[in-house]
Amino acid sequence: MLSDLTLQELEMARIEIRNKPMEIPEQNRIAIGINDEAIKLAETYISEGALTNKSFNDALHIALATVYNCDVLASWNFKHIVNLDRIRL
């Protein structure tokens, strides 16, 4: 699954990085979009103290994975997303 949030963030990357998702065969790509449910869940993560408002996009990535029932959320973000203490929160 590939969110429009991820694509937005990749807009700022070098071209070779920006194009990496297109290396995944189209039949294996599932596009997911930001919706009200994900936004509300991200806001809940923040209001409950799992993340700060400064990390809203990180909260939104996690919320999108939850709302769309992703089995795995792959990330290099060890501060907010791939962090056992944060996950427990």
pLDDT tens readout for residues 23-73: 999 999 999 999 999 999 999 999 999 888 999 999 999 999 999 999 988
- pTM value is 0.83
At residue 78, the pLDDT reads 58
pLDDT tens readout for residues 48-62: 998 889 999 999 999
Which residue(s) pair with 31 in the sheet? 2
Sign of CA dihedral 55, 10, 32, 72: negative
d(CA 52, CA 59): 9
